[in-house]
Amino acid sequence: MSSSQIIHLDLARLPVNQKENLCKILDQNDCWEELGFLMKFSEFDIANVKTEAIRLRRSPSGVLLMKWERYAHNVTELFKLLADMQHFQAMEEIKDLVHVKYHVWLSPTKPHLSRLLAEESKKQLNMSPHDHSQIFKNAKKNLMQENSPKSEFKENLKELLNIPEIPIKELEDATNKWSEENVLGKGGFGVVYKGEWISTKVAIKKLEYRESRSGSSKEHLIQSLNELRHLNHCRHDNILPVYGYAMKDETCLVVYQLMPGGSLEERLSKRSGHEPLTWPQRWIVSKGTARGLQYLHRYSSKPLIHGDIKPANILLDTCCEPKIGDFGLSREGHVGDECQELSRVFGTKPYLPQEFLTRNLFSTKVDVFSFGVVLFELATGHKAHDKLRKHVFLYDLMARVDESSIEVIKNVIDKVTPNDEACFNLCKLMIYLGKKCTDCNPNFRPEMMSVLKALETFVPVVST
């Protein structure tokens, strides 16, 4: 088979011997965890991979790849992620399965962190010319002095953000000295703890910067800077609040509001131990998420595009009021929301529209499309991607559903909770709006404000 024939080789068709060798390589030093984060799995997902690997006595890398296969990824995409990690040994194992033009990725590049931070700031910050000038003077100074990665990251935090620095001792006390009992999740870049800081329930993400051949922890720090910047600027009831940060040696700690209701992904998959979402709760989640998104798109002259709206990034409080989190991939759009062509595609494939996947065209309509898929999941309980279905992607399946038929609604509605006429009407509205939001033509997708108004005018179910 020539490389031109296997350029789009499905990951599920990766030859057994090469897959086993690749897994042995990635299992060393737990490199699979860093790969998992580049695949956009959450800390919770990574922890589940580890647990499942122990239970099944399998390679954790093998379990990770099996999960990623479900989202219709191919070997070339895996090769690119390994290139981002600069894991050349793993790339060598599968290079004969990708087109030779991609072999150029085997050439190592090691940009300095301060330069990366400065470039990221230049692209995404909405600041005055004077502020930009000062930022780049400081970045240039960092380059010349060759500061340590930790000090560079901290300096950029101080210069670019207005976030309180919390004494490290207070966070140690909040988590009972990082007790294992307070661990919410673990991943390749660190651990997430729950704690109580100044009588407030918090989640603390502990990020470790490690100089390694992968370089992916460097990318994760940059994404964390991006997330902190946007969370700090976007104060809204449906945006996850960030309380502060702390630095110690090569570790960065970020403090968020604790969301006791878990993520929408956990609730829909019934993994969190909570009761299934009732229909009034689904209405609250959809309405609150739409309200948060329309704020991001409208609060400034340039819209802020989240770029990775999905159930895992929608967090719930005790009343199921949602807050949008994980702004690591967010970026400013153009004035007037004109489409911009990006150099690469990011996000989670089952939630992304074709104009972004195939032509790299990015606008607020990417978020609108993603929200439409979330509405489908809320209405039906089906996963956004399921390769066992005839129509693998949920938006393809729902495009064929006639929501005007009550019999069709009764067939597709999530039956995990009791349904009545009011539930059918809400399901019908969600599917109708979901189809509008996932229109193949971005110009025909509604603005999030219109979606919010449609959800707000719905008469909610009385019983809870």
197, 243 Cβ separation under 8 angstroms: yes
User: Hey, which residues does 362 pair with through a beta bridge?
Assistant: 340
What tens digit of pLDDT does each residue of 101-115 get?
888 877 654 443 334
Q: Which residues of 235-248 are buried (b: 16+ CB within 10 A; e: fewer)?
A: eeebbbbbbbbbbe
Q: Which residues are annotated as a binding site?
A: 206
What are the tens digits of pLDDT across the range 450-464?
A: 999 999 998 765 444
Model confidence at 211, in pLDDT bands (50, 70, 90)? low
Q: Which secondary-structure segment (H or E) carries 22?
A: helix 16-27
Terminal CA-CA length for the chain:
58
pLDDT confidence tier of residue 218, bands split at 50, 70 and 90: low
**Is residue 53 helix, strand or coil?**
helix
Please state, in angstroms and rounded to a whole number, the distance separating the CA atoms of residues 339 and 94. Answer: 35
- For residues 89 and 87, give the distance between their C-alpha atoms in angstroms, rounded to a whole number: 6
Q: Give just the sign of the alpha carbon dihedral 287, 288, 294, 298.
A: positive
User: Taking a C-beta distance cutoff of 8 angstroms, is the pair 84, 106 a contact?
Assistant: no
Q: Tokens 């998420």 sit at which residue?
A: 289
pLDDT at position 191 is 83
What is the residue-averaged pLDDT of the chain?
A: 82
Residue 379 CB: number of other CB atoms within 10 A? 28
Cα gap 310→395, rounded to integer Å: 13
Residues 192, 291: Cα–Cα separation, whole Å: 27
Flag the least confident range among 50-54, 121-125, 170-174, 295-299: 121-125
Question: Which of 146-160, 173-187, 354-368, 394-408 is predicted least confidently?
Answer: 146-160
Domain 264-456 has CATH 1.20.120.550: no
pLDDT exceeds cutoff 90 at 201: yes
Reduced to 3 states (helix: H, G, I; strand: E, B; else coil), residue 324 is strand
Burial of 255 (0-12, 13-18, 19+ CB in 10 A): buried
Contact 259, 266 (CB under 8 A): no
Q: Which CATH number fits domain 113-257: 3.30.200.20, 3.40.30.10, 3.40.50.2000, 3.30.1380.10?
A: 3.30.200.20
Residue 246, pLDDT score: 86
Query: Is residue 432 predicted with pLDDT exceeding 60?
Result: yes
**Angle at CA of residue 78, ends 74 and 81, nearest 5°:** 145
The pTM of this model reads: 0.68
Instruction: Return the SS3 of 242.
Output: strand
Confidence at 120, pLDDT banded by 50, 70, 90: very low
Q: Which residue has the higher pLDDT, 71 or 178?
A: 178
How confident is the model over 213-221, as a mean pLDDT? 55
Inter-helix orientation angle 216-233/31-38, to 10°: 40
Q: 11-106, which class in CATH?
A: mainly alpha
Burial of 113 (C-beta count, 10 Å sphere; 0-12/13-18/19+): buried
Three-state DSSP class for residue 196: strand
Higher pLDDT, 119 or 297: 297
Tokens of 244: 């502060």
Kindly indicate the confidence band of residue 175, based on its pLDDT and cuts at 50, 70 and 90: very high
Do 327 and 230 form a contact (C-beta atoms < 8 A)? yes
206 pLDDT above the threshold of 80: yes
Read off the pLDDT of residues 121-167 as tens digits, 9 standing for 90 and up: 444 444 543 444 344 344 334 433 444 445 555 555 554 456 788 99
Residues assigned a catalytic role: 308
pLDDT tops 60 at residue 271: yes
Task: Show me where the domains of the chain are located.
Answer: 11-106, 113-257, 264-456
pLDDT tens per residue across span 8-44? 688 888 888 899 989 988 988 778 888 988 888 877 7
Q: What are phi and psi of 125, to 5 degrees?
A: -80, 140
Q: Does residue 117 carry a pLDDT above 70?
A: no
Lowest mean pLDDT among 105-114, 369-378, 389-398: 105-114
Identify the pLDDT of residue 386. 92
pLDDT of residue 204: 93
SS3 126: coil
Helix/strand/coil for 140: helix
pLDDT of residue 115: 42
pLDDT at 146: 40
What pLDDT, on the 0 to 100 scale, is given for residue 153?
A: 52
Percentage of the residues of the chain whose pLDDT score is greater than 70: 80
Per-residue pLDDT, 420: 85
State the pLDDT at residue 424: 93
Helix axes 31-38, 75-85, angle to 10 degrees: 110
More confidently predicted of 208 and 444: 444
d(CA 291, CA 322): 10
pLDDT at 125: 45
The larger pLDDT score, comparing residue 214 to residue 385, is at 385
Q: How confident is the model at residue 343 (pLDDT cuts 50, 70, 90)?
A: confident
Percent of the chain with pLDDT over 90: 42
Q: Determine the Cα–Cα distance for residues 364 and 293; give it in Å rounded to an integer.
A: 9
DSSP for residue 385:
B
